[in-house]
Structure 1
Amino acid sequence: MKKILAINPVGTDIWDESDYSYFKKHASGDTEVEVVSLKDGPESVESYYLEAYASPRVLDIIKNADGRYDGFLVNCFADPGVRAAREITDVPVIGPGEASMLTASMLGHKFGVAAINKKQVTALEIKVMEMGIIQRFAGARAVNIGVSSLLDAPQETVEEVIKAADFLIGERGAEVIVLGCTGMAYLAEEIKKRLTVPVIEPALTALKLLETLIDMGLTHSKEALYSNPFKKQKEGD
Structure 2
Amino acid sequence: MSDTHPTSLRPGGPSPSNTPRPESQTLSEDMQNRQQFAYGANQESQPGQQQGGSYSGRFPSQMYGAQGPDFSVEAPGGNASHNQYGDNGPRSRASTIGQSYPIAMDQSSAPAMPSAQPLFAQHSGPASAGGQSGSRPASRQAPPGPSQAMNPSSFSTAPNTRPGTAGGAQSQSKSPFTTPVTSPPRSRPSQILLINPTSSTALTNTMLQSLRPILPPQLEVVGYTAHYPAPTATETTVDQALSTELVLRDLAKYATNNGETVQNFDALLIASFTHHPLIAALRESYDVPVIGVMEGSLYVSRMLGARFGILSTTNRHKIQTDNALHMSGLGHYFVGAEAVHMSPIEILASAAQSQTGALPEEVSKRIAHAARVLVSKGADTLIMGSESMSSVEVIRAAKDAIREEDGRRTINVVDCVEAGVMCLNALVGMGVPTSKKGVYRGERDGRRARGQNWL
TM-score normalised to structure 2 length:
0.48
Cα offset, 1:67, TM superposition: 4.5
Residue 73 of structure 1 corresponds to 269
Query: What SS is found at the alignment partner of 1:11?
Result: coil
Give the CA RMSD over aligned residues.
Answer: 1.9
Residue 234 of structure 2 corresponds to 45
Take 1:157 and 1:63, find their aligned partners in 2: how far apart are those partners?
A: 39
| Structure 2 counterparts to residues 122-161 of structure 1, below 5 A | 122-153=319-350, 154-155=359-360, 156-161=362-367
| Structure 2 counterparts to residues 1-237 of structure 1, below 5 A | 1-40=189-228, 41-65=230-254, 66-78=262-274, 80=276, 81-153=278-350, 154-155=359-360, 156-170=362-376, 172-186=377-391, 187-195=394-402, 196-232=410-446
- Structure 1: state its 5+ residue gaps: none
Cα offset, 1:23, TM superposition: 2.8
Take 1:10 and 1:49, find their aligned partners in 2: how far apart are those partners?
A: 12
Bigger shift: 117-126 or 9-18?
9-18
Q: Is the strand fraction higher in 1 or 2? A: 1
Cα offset, 1:232, TM superposition: 4.5
Take 2:235 and 2:430, find their aligned partners in 1: how far apart are those partners?
A: 34
Identity %: 24
Take 1:198 and 1:139, find their aligned partners in 2: how far apart are those partners?
A: 16
Which residue identity is paired with 1:160?
A: R
Which residue identity is paired with 2:365?
A: E
- Structure 2: state its 5+ residue gaps: 1-188, 255-261, 351-358, 403-409, 448-455
On the 8 A contact 1:151/1:157 being kept in 2, the answer is no
The 3 A distance-change label for structure 1 pair 62 and 209 is farther
Query: What SS is found at the alignment partner of 1:161?
Result: helix
Q: Which has the higher Rg, Structure 1 or Structure 2? A: 2
1:91-139 Cα distance to aligned partner (Å, 9 max, x none): 1112101111122122222211111111111111211121111111111
Number of positions where the alignment pairs a residue of Structure 1 with one of Structure 2: 232
On the 8 A contact 1:99/1:206 being kept in 2, the answer is yes
TM-score normalised to structure 1 length:
0.90
Bigger shift: 95-104 or 23-32?
23-32
1:137-156 Cα distance to aligned partner (Å, 9 max, x none): 11101100110111434343
Which residue identity is paired with 1:194?
A: A
Cα offset, 1:199, TM superposition: 0.8
Which residue identity is paired with 2:211?
A: F
On the 8 A contact 1:79/1:96 being kept in 2, the answer is no
Take 2:336 and 2:282, find their aligned partners in 1: how far apart are those partners?
A: 28
On the 8 A contact 2:274/2:320 being kept in 1, the answer is no
Residue 102 of structure 2 corresponds to none
On the 8 A contact 1:44/1:50 being kept in 2, the answer is yes
Bigger shift: 22-31 or 138-147?
22-31
Cα offset, 1:231, TM superposition: 3.5
Query: What SS is found at the alignment partner of 2:390?
Result: helix
Which residue identity is paired with 2:231?
A: P
Cα offset, 1:20, TM superposition: 2.8
On the 8 A contact 1:169/1:175 being kept in 2, the answer is yes
On the 8 A contact 2:198/2:233 being kept in 1, the answer is yes
Cα offset, 1:79, TM superposition: 5.0
Take 2:373 and 2:318, find their aligned partners in 1: how far apart are those partners?
A: 14
Cα offset, 1:12, TM superposition: 2.8
Take 2:282 and 2:315, find their aligned partners in 1: how far apart are those partners?
A: 28
Which residue identity is paired with 1:127?
A: A
Which residue identity is paired with 1:213?
A: L
The 3 A distance-change label for structure 1 pair 221 and 135 is same
